[in-house]
Amino acid sequence: MTGFLLRLRQRKLVQWVLAYIAFAFALIQVLDVIAQRFRWPDQIEKLLIFALAIGFVVALILAWYHGERGAQKVSGTEIAILALLLAIGGGLLWGYGRTSSHPAVAGAARDAAALKQHPASMAPARAIPIPAKSIAVLPFENLSEDKGNAYFADGMQDLILTKLADIGDLKVISRTSTAKYESHPDNLKVIAQQLGVAAILEGSVQKAGNQVLINVQLIDAQSDNHLWAESYTRTLDNIFGVEGEVAQKVADALKAKLTSTEQQNVTAIPTQNTAAYNWYLKADYQAHKAFDAQDGAEFELAESDYRKAIALDPGFALARAQLAYWQMVSHWFVAPLPPDELAKIKATIDGTLAVAPDLPDAHLALGYYYYWGYRRYAEAAKQFERVLQLAPNNVEALGGLAFIERRRGQWPQALATLQRALLIAPRDSEMLGEYGWTLCIMRRYAEAEQVLMRALTMEPGKTNNQDALWTTRLVGLGDAQGARTAYIPRPGWRLDTAKNIAAGDVDGLVNPIVYPDVFERHFDKALLAWDSAPVSTDAERLTRRAARVAIEIIAGRQSAIQSECVQLKPPLEAELAKHPDAIGNLQQVAWVDVCLGRNAEAIAAARRASEVMSVAKDAYFGAYTLAGLAEVEAHAGAKDDSLKLVEQLLAMPAGEVMSVTRLKLDPVWDPLRGDPRFQALLKKYGNAAPAAVVSGAIQ
């Protein structure tokens, strides 16, 4: 050992090591810049780093055998430090290799690290160059002493963003992707890369009484140079049109060309009534707040503010269009409106289009009126296409088209449209989640899981994305424990059957919180969980009792609950009489009839649910009721019919309810398990490839 240390001290090992490390570090930095500029795949960078690591070993060997020509004195402390550095470096390389070996783990680790450093900065990797004519408008800073004026700063940003979105020669990032960034961040270059833009627009608004000061600056994100900046000192009486002026100056700075229609839309002044303008900005701010909260009372406040703006200026077309749009949002997501109220919304839209036929917001509202009001998909799609002709960067129209394509069973088209939407909404966790959910439906489960994990890293706790990840893991991958961990934090029980998006499939009836226990055949554990469910109304108590019945039937213990089913049948029938087409009520009645041995009645109730929401009417939600019918038929002795439906679901994109993995593991399919035809289906579809990958898929 003493001889080894003496020989080590006689060689220029330290100089060789330090020189090589310095060279390798500099080379990695240069390669990183080049890789970003030319969009090299990550694999190339990994190979280069491992080549440098091998080169390090070679350098050590050369230093050992050729270092005697110039002896150096190396202290024991230096040798210890060198050994420590080698150990740390080796450990990091080992850890890097292990983390990189699994794409999902590696992606999650990168996401977590980036989220910690830049809380609003997780974005999917890009495979396309950044257009020179591309821009993101960051939230405007409210510099007013009265913090209640935040609505004014938010409204100015939104109006400018809307004007820019009307320009087809520009790529404009959506509000949903910029909302979580700071007004004046330090890392503009990083943010621009995440959003895929060349320029950033920053702004601030200071409002004091009747005086308003608006500062805006357009920045080249790569060089950090100002492309244009201006201050607008106005009163509320002459602030009209500022958003159009800013949009025009930005377009000029980015050398964007406007069509005559775009020029008209950019310069159009929506109102010249000061009070109406102010109420509109308040309404817009309140509407976004209501959507985030999914709260009916908040939507009513927004509607009231829009009506105040319209009352002050009956010709305020933008306010009318936005009122109609947000009423339809509330109808779809919070509380359905009766036909007479929907008719009033249609009248508002028609009146708006009569005076402003090229207003994108009015066509958007009409598109969602047809879609969310009556599922008239062809008419809705026509309106969304018109919006995109007038405002090519309108992400709500792209989203509407994608969702309609899903409901019409046009799954590859839906993926492609969602990809278009994600180009202008790369930080929209909702849109990214819908992309992942669509992958799940197409049975591309591994891809879906990665995308959904990324979406939840962007916005933890997003319920829709948690639901999608839960389904991907349980139904697609057969991972019950993974499904449980999809809910962090765990959501409420969501006992309102009218809002159960999975109505029809038995896992929706039993409830996602406890279905993993059923899936693993821990039936008593699932029943015990229901004992502590926070039910407080008669409807919720009926839901709990029906869920317990379904669990006992799946467990094969229906003979033990006959008296409970006899008692439960009358109140369920009474509820069904009030709402004869309510899918949740039909499903509950069907399972209680299975319990009572009333098989024909059970199948009739489940079939009625599949007719109310058929695959022909809605390829997206129709799969749930079709699966529910197959489940009831399996337990009601109609195995032939059940097997036909199972094969129908396996042959179509219905990965949210049907997979070979689920058929193998889920006890709800136990009645079919011994049938040779069932085993033949598992074999036939077990090796079936998922739908083809759409080019340019989100990484």
Beta strands in 210-349 (DSSP E): 211-220, 225-235
Residue pLDDT, tens place only, 165-193: 999 999 999 999 999 899 999 899 999 99
- Residues 592-647 have pLDDT tens digits of 999 999 999 999 999 999 999 999 999 999 999 999 999 999 999 999 999 999 99
Q: In this structure, what token pair is assigned to residue 211?
A: 């005086």
CA distance 565 to 312: 59
Question: Looking at the 3D structure of the chain, how many domains does it have?
Answer: 4
Distances in Å between the Cα of 452 and the Cα atoms of 216, 428, 465 are 36, 12, 6
Examine the domain organization and report whether 383 and 526 are in the same domain: no
One-letter amino acid for residue 233 of the chain: T
Report the alpha-carbon distance of residue 453 to residue 4 in Å, rounded: 52
**Contact between 141 and 153 (Cβ < 8 Å):** yes
Shared-domain flag, residues 383 and 504: no
- Domain stop point among 426, 452, 473: 426
Residue 88 or residue 450, greater confidence: 450
Q: Which CATH number covers residue 311?
A: 1.25.40.10
User: Which helix (DSSP H) or strand (DSSP E) does residue 287 occupy?
Assistant: helix 274-293
pTM of the model: 0.80
* pLDDT for position 20: 72
**Same domain membership, residue 675 and residue 559:** yes
Instruction: Tell whether 247 and 322 lie within a shared domain.
Output: no
What pLDDT band is residue 101 in, cutting at 50, 70 and 90? very low
Q: Are residues 554 and 681 in the same domain?
A: yes
H helix count then E strand count, the chain: 34, 6
**Residue 185: CATH number of its domain:** 3.40.50.10070
Q: Crossing angle for the helix pair 296-312 and 274-293, nearest 10 degrees?
A: 170
Q: What percent of the chain lies above the pLDDT cut of 90?
A: 75
Q: Provide DSSP, 604-662.
A: HHHHHHHHHT-TTT-TTTHHHHHHHHHHHHHHTT-HHHHHHHHHHHHHSS-TTT--HHH
What is the band of 692 on the pLDDT scale with cuts at 50, 70, 90?
Answer: very low
Task: Judge if 586 and 643 occupy the same domain.
Answer: yes
From 225, 241, 269, the end of a domain falls on 269
DSSP secondary structure letter of residue 128: S
DSSP symbol at 651: H
Residues 254 and 291 in one domain: no
Average pLDDT over the chain reads 87
Compute the distance between CA of residue 74 and CA of residue 57 in angstroms, rounded to an integer: 20
On whether both 283 and 349 belong to a single domain, the answer is: yes
User: Is there a single domain that holds both residue 540 and residue 391?
Assistant: no
- For residue 135, the 8-state DSSP code is E
Q: Is residue 310 part of a domain?
A: yes
Q: Residue 504: is it exposed, middle or buried by C-beta count within 10 angstroms (0-12/13-18/19+)?
A: buried
User: Residue 292 and residue 124: Cα distance in Å, rounded?
Assistant: 23
Contact 393, 364 (CB under 8 A): no
Structural domain ending residue among the three candidates 245, 269, 293: 269
- Per-residue pLDDT band at 490 (split at 50, 70, 90): confident
Whether residue 257 is found in the same domain as residue 330: no
Is residue 57 over pLDDT 90? no
At a CB cut-off of 8 Å and minimum separation 6, what does 241 contact? Answer: 267, 269
| Residue matched to tokens 């005076």 | 355
Specify the pLDDT at position 494: 86
**pLDDT at 541 > cutoff 90:** yes
In a domain, 121, yes or no: no
Number of neighbours of residue 684 by Cβ within 10 angstroms: 13
Q: 91 or 469: whose pLDDT is higher?
A: 469
Q: What is the largest CA-CA distance in the chain?
A: 99
Residue 567 lies in a domain: yes
pLDDT digits (tens, 9 = 90+) for 207-244: 998 999 999 999 999 999 999 999 999 999 889 999 99
Q: Cα–Cα distance between 447 and 690 in angstroms, integer? A: 11
Q: What are the tens digits of pLDDT across the range 636-684?
A: 999 999 999 999 999 999 999 999 999 999 999 999 999 999 999 999 9
Q: In which domain, by residue range, is 223 found?
A: 134-269
Residues 432-464 have pLDDT tens digits of 999 999 999 999 999 999 999 999 999 998 999
**Cβ proximity of 231 and 214 under 8 Å:** yes
217 domain residue, yes or no: yes
Same domain? For 569 and 594 the reply is yes
Are 244 and 284 part of one and the same domain?
no
Are 156 and 205 contacting, i.e. CB atoms less than 8 angstroms apart? yes
**Residue 357 buriedness (CB in 10 A; 0-12 / 13-18 / 19+):** exposed
Which pLDDT does position 491 carry in this prediction?
A: 78
| Integer Cα distance of 573 and 585 in angstroms | 8
195 part of a folded domain? yes
CA distance 469 to 455: 10
Query: What pLDDT, in 10s, does the model give residues 383-440?
Result: 999 999 999 999 999 999 999 999 999 999 999 999 999 999 999 999 999 999 999 9
Residue 216 in 3-state DSSP? strand
CA 27 – CA 40 distance, rounded (Å) = 16
The residue written with tokens 């990189």 in the block is 100
